[in-house]
Structure 1
Amino acid sequence: MQGQPTIIRKHWFGLAVILVAGLVVELALALAIVVALHQGTLTPNLYAFLGVIMVVVLLADLVTAYVYRLSSIVLTATAITVANWQTLFFSNTAVCEWNQVEDVNAKQGGVFAQLLSFGTLRIQTAGTQNNITMTMVPRVQYWRATIEAKAAATPTLTHSV
Structure 2
Amino acid sequence: MLPLFENEKVLLIVRKHWFVMARTAILFFVLLFAPVIGSFLFPYVKTAIPEDLLYAGTNFFVSLYFAAISAFLFFEWMDYYLDTWIITSRRIIDIEQQGLFSRHVAEIPLSRVQDITIEVNGILETLLRFGTIRIQTAGERDFFIHDVPHLQELKNTILSQVETRQTEGPKEGPAAREYPSP
In structure 2, the residue matched to 1:140 is 151
Scaled by the length of structure 1, what TM-score is found? 0.84
Moved more, 5-14 or 89-98: 89-98
Task: Return the match for 2:33 from 18, 22, 27.
Answer: 27
Scaled by the length of structure 2, what TM-score is found? 0.75
Q: Does 1:8 pair with 2:8? A: no
5+ residue gaps, structure 2, are 1-7, 47-53, 171-175
In structure 2, the residue matched to 1:131 is 142
For residues 100 and 154 of structure 2, the distance between their equivalents in structure 1, rounded to whole angstroms, comes to: 27
Q: Does 1:79 pair with 2:91? A: yes
- Show structure 1 runs of 4+ deviating over 6 A: 156-161
In structure 1, the residue matched to 2:164 is 153
In structure 1, the residue matched to 2:106 is 94
- Please give the root-mean-square deviation of Cα atoms over the aligned residues, in Å: 2.5
Offset at residue 72 of structure 1 (A): 1.0
Identical positions, percent: 24
Offset at residue 40 of structure 1 (A): 6.8
Q: Does 1:120 pair with 2:159? A: no
Given that residues 134 and 145 in structure 2 are in contact (C-alpha distance below 8 angstroms), is that contact kept between their aligned partners in structure 1? yes
Moved more, 143-152 or 5-14: 143-152
Question: Paired residues, what number?
Answer: 158
